């Protein structure tokens, strides 16, 4: 009888052990499935982020190129503007106080008259410049 009792206890422990094994295995499979889904989602996110990083790198390179070009234009503009501000004729043209046509007429006047007039003086003689504009240009250059 005791042997039967021992066998019954052993059988109960075996059944409990089997049930625990099934429960643990089920939880492990469930967790494994969850981890596989998370891995799939993370892989997809990684792929999207990698593509986004590549797009941002291209955008950064485009912006660098554009900035370099703008700096070159700015340097050329600055040099041009500085020249315009140090030469009275260029300054007057830049400010719209004289035109290219008026300059050509003044140059032709000097050639025809065979005179030693400066271009700015010829502009005054022809009436394209007055004393106020000339004074303004000289003061602007001296600034």
Ordered per-residue pLDDT tens for the chain, 143 residues: 898 899 999 999 999 999 999 999 999 999 999 999 999 999 999 999 999 999 999 999 999 999 998 888 877 766 655 555 567 888 888 888 889 899 898 888 888 888 788 888 888 888 888 888 878 887 877 76
How far is the CA of 108 from the CAs of 20, 50, 101, in angstroms? Answer: 111, 68, 11
Same domain, 115 and 95: yes
By the 8 A CB rule, do 37 and 45 touch? no
Same domain, 79 and 91: no
In a domain, 2, yes or no: no
Residue keyed to tokens 């997809």: 44
Same domain, 94 and 126: yes
Q: Containing H/E element for 17? A: helix 2-86
Same domain, 94 and 71: no
- For residue 91, the enclosing domain spans 87-143
By the 8 A CB rule, do 133 and 116 touch? no
Is the four-CA dihedral 117, 121, 123, 126 of positive or negative sign? negative
CA geometry: angle at 43 spanning 35 and 31, to 5°? 5
Claim: this prediction has a pTM higher than 0.75? no
């Amino acid at each position: 009888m005791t042997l039967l009792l021992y066998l019954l206890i052993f059988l109960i422990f075996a059944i409990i052990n089997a049930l625990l094994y099934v429960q643990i295995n089920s939880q492990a499979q469930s967790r494994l499935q969850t981890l596989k889904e998370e891995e799939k989602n993370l892989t997809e996110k990684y792929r999207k982020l990698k593509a986004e990083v590549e797009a941002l790198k291209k955008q950064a390179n485009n912006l660098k190129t554009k900035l370099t070009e703008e700096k070159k234009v700015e340097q050329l503009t600055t040099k041009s503007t500085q020249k315009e501000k140090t030469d009275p004729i260029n300054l007057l043209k830049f400010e719209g106080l004289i035109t290219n046509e008026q300059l050509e007429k003044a140059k032709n006047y000097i050639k025809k008259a065979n005179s030693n007039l400066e271009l700015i003086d010829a502009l005054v003689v022809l009436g394209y410049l007055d004393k106020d504009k000339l004074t303004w240009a000289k003061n602007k250059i001296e600034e």
